[in-house]
Amino acid sequence: MRILVVEDSKVVSRILQHLIAQELGCEVDFAEDFTSAKKLLASHDYFVAITDLNLPDAQEGEIVKQVLAQQIPCIVLTGSLDSKQRQRLLQLGIVDYILKENRFSYEYAVRLVKRLQRNKHVKVLVADDSVVSRKFVRSLLEQHLYQVIEADDGLSALDVLNTQEDIQLLITDYNMPGLDGFGLILKVRERFTREEMAIIGLSSDDDQSLSARFIKNGANDFLKKPFVHEEFHCRVLNTLDSLDMVRRLWEQANLDYLTEVYNRRYFFSRFEPQLSTLNQKQTAFSVGLLDIDFFKKVNDTYGHDIGDEVLIEFAQRLKQFFGQHFVVARFGGEEFVVAFKGLNGSKAFTLLDKFRANLAASPIKTSDGELNITTSIGVASLTGDSLDNLIQRADKALYDAKESGRNLVCIDS
């Protein structure tokens, strides 16, 4: 990623340079005037440009038009802006304008670049039966580099959600034929929690209770049409920032900090509630408990950091081998678990034995060289008991594997 900063004030340039290095760590070019900016624009591809509005050799904001003509997102920094200039800049399609008021203005500019980077990967679904309104929302979202998908009513929005993965934000109108905004939100919330997908409701209806009703029905926020650019962007940013924050909290609570596979807490919270149904329906369910052999020796010989590298690689291999169909979690220390929903013990045994043999045959690369690592594994399958019991039986089988010489899989019988 490369950024262009066009700014005639050396002080402002220095602040931006410092903030960009600190926050973004990307390549950045500085131009003091329009002429040198044009030269740089001709010779590099830029992800975004942060530009002053008035430059010594271009007092009419020519730089903004030049940047936009090259399809580069443009963030405008300016000492002052009257309402006509503001309107003109927004119509040109800039990402945002920032008044040079204090340190926070520059921090905001850099944060905005960070968000643009993130936005490239964020899919937004816009459901609105009015083409004009839908296209307007699309253009605003595209200025901020979001991936936009359109639906012309509630039912087609549901179709999109059934076929497209990873939509993070739904922006929906209220009045739509077939299925209106409320109906759509209720359907969406049956499948996606507030942590999985954010929703912003839109309406031009004068009913003052609408915003609260949208939120009570499951929307994260609401905007009354017509809205101004700035408000739209602030609401979308706030909504997505909250979503990111909630996701980060979820990850902190459910993923192992070192190996980034699920943790023990996730494993139990996911499978404990399912156990009675699995037992009732007699669905096959097995678990494999894996413990790295002589791991203490790895730590004692090579140090804790190399031990960590082994744990990370071991977890990666588990995830690669099983992760697509089964749940992999770290139980703690050098002990991991794989949950095989739909597999009986002997099938789980076969897969785990293959993993064991692969591991024994391909050393783990660490910064201190390659290490031969093996694992012992205990397998047990559900027979109407509790999750704790099942794990205890797998643990007993693991103990047998260790006692029988390690680098083995034993099954609870």
Ligand X SMILES: Nc1nc2c(ncn2[C@@H]2O[C@H](COP(=O)(O)OP(=O)(O)OP(=O)(O)O)[C@@H](O)[C@H]2O)c(=O)[nH]1
Rounded Cα distance, 165 and 145, in Å: 18
**CB 208, min distance to ligand X, A:** 56
Q: At what angle do helices 229-254 and 131-143 cross, to 10 degrees?
A: 60
CA distance readout (Å), 387 to 189, 381, 393: 30, 10, 10
Q: Please report whether residue 334 would count as binding ligand X according to CB under 6 A.
A: yes
Q: Which of 14, 304, 325, 365 binds ligand X (CB under 6 A)?
A: 304
Name the segment binding ligand X (CB under 6 A); options: 13-21, 128-136, 305-313, 348-356. 305-313
358 HSE (CA, 13 A, CB side): 12
Other CB atoms within a 10 A radius of the CB of residue 302 amount to 17
**CB 300, min distance to ligand X, A:** 7
Residues 307-326 that bind ligand X (CB under 6 A): 307-308, 311
Helices (H), 31-130: 34-43, 62-69, 83-92, 103-119
Q: Which of 79, 273, 333, 342 binds ligand X (CB under 6 A)?
A: 333
Q: Which of 100, 118, 189, 402 binds ligand X (CB under 6 A)?
A: 402
Q: Please report whether residue 258 would count as binding ligand X according to CB under 6 A.
A: yes
Q: Quote the tokens at residue 99.
A: 């008044």
Closer residue to ligand X (CB): 179 or 310: 310
Between strands 2-6 and 327-332, the pairing is: unpaired
The residue whose Cβ lies closest to ligand X is: 307
Q: Please report whether residue 372 would count as binding ligand X according to CB under 6 A.
A: no
How many chain residues bind ligand X (CB under 6 A)?
17
**CB 317, min distance to ligand X, A:** 16
Going by C-alpha positions, the residue among 63, 72, 96 that lies closest to residue 1 is 72
325-353 residues labelled b (16+ CB within 10 A) or e (exposed): ebbbbbbeebbbbbbbbebebeebbebbb
Residues 284-303 that bind ligand X (CB under 6 A): 291-297, 299
**CB 359, min distance to ligand X, A:** 14
Closer residue to ligand X (CB): 14 or 296: 296
Q: Footprint of ligand X on this chain (CB under 6 A)? A: 258, 291-297, 299, 304, 307-308, 311, 333-334, 402, 406
